[in-house]
Structure 1
């Protein structure tokens, strides 16, 4: 079946400020990402990451990523191997800077780009296309994930050594106004 996940990382606010802004509290209980609905970890470089157990979680959507990014930087990433879709979004001070997404059903080379993506995007995409041609796989799937990794240093498949803790929702859990 493959993995499915979402995560949001914030820089420029304390973990407590981030958690308060989304309506979560840290229980202190150690957890593996994906073992609980919400898990949090402090990343090297001062980022705070919230792991979300589901694909395409509403916090990775532009509107909510923008609200989470008030007076700070925020990057969101979501991916699902079962549908071969991935997306990342980067926001600064309540404004989306860029969003990059891939959906295999739209084509092997599908890559939707909005805003002003990092200068590294063409090289990352060229490398993915080369891997796809050699291995006959959906390497473009990894492009949004790689861009998010460049921003905050986190990858879903390379997080050994990070201490994740269970996050519990409060009655002020951030929800989409469209839900």
Structure 2
């Protein structure tokens, strides 16, 4: 098993406005954001992080992101490790600006992207794509055989 979670970072509205648009209520408690739980934290430069304890959370539906991003910017991410799936996208003023998606269980190097990805994307891809190709060529190491006694 691996992690299954999603998150969104929002910039351009205060916490109360964001919570209202997402139909969230602060509980006053602190804790982890796994197994379906939701948590929030203020980040630098005015971003608010909302962590959702499952991948593909309903709050990240296209219709929800379209409404939430009116008058602000939203970046979201989904991670479903046990099937090697991840996605990220950016919305602003009700419009999706870009989306990148990777489904490693079917196409290890494959990356589907639409829109104009952030400027830093090309540099990151150029740095890590050769490493991904090299790791794909390596022969897996042997594993020791064991038996129960």
Aligned to 1:2: 2
What SS does the aligned partner of 2:39 have?
strand
Matches of 1:60 and 1:36, distance apart in 2:
14
Shift of 1:61: 3.5
Larger radius of gyration: 2
Secondary structure, counterpart of 2:87 in structure 1: strand
Q: CA deviation at 1:109?
A: 1.6
Deviations 1:104-141 (A, max 9, x none): 1331121111111112222222222122134449xxxx
2: CA distance, partners of 1:57 / 1:96: 17
Distance 1:41 1:109 in 2: 33
Moved more, 78-87 or 55-64: 55-64
Residues 133-155 of structure 1, C-alpha deviations (whole Å, 9 max, x = no match)? 34449xxxxxxxxxxxxxxxxxx
Indicate the residue corresponding to 2:142 in structure 1. Answer: none
Q: CA deviation at 1:66?
A: 1.9
Distance in 2 between residues matched to 1:122 and 1:61, nearest whole Å = 27
**CA distance, structure 2, for counterparts of residue 106 and residue 122 of structure 1:** 23
8 Å contact 1:65–1:76 — kept in the other structure?
no
Residues 86 and 103 in structure 1, CA contact (< 8 A), matched pair in contact too = yes
The 5-angstrom pairing of residues 78-93 of structure 1 reads 78-93=78-93
Kept in 2, the 8 Å contact 1:65–1:75? The answer is no
Match of 1:99 in 2: 99
Partners of 1:33 and 1:121 in 2: how far apart? 28
CA distance in 2, matches of 1:91, 1:54: 20
Q: What is aligned with 1:152?
A: none
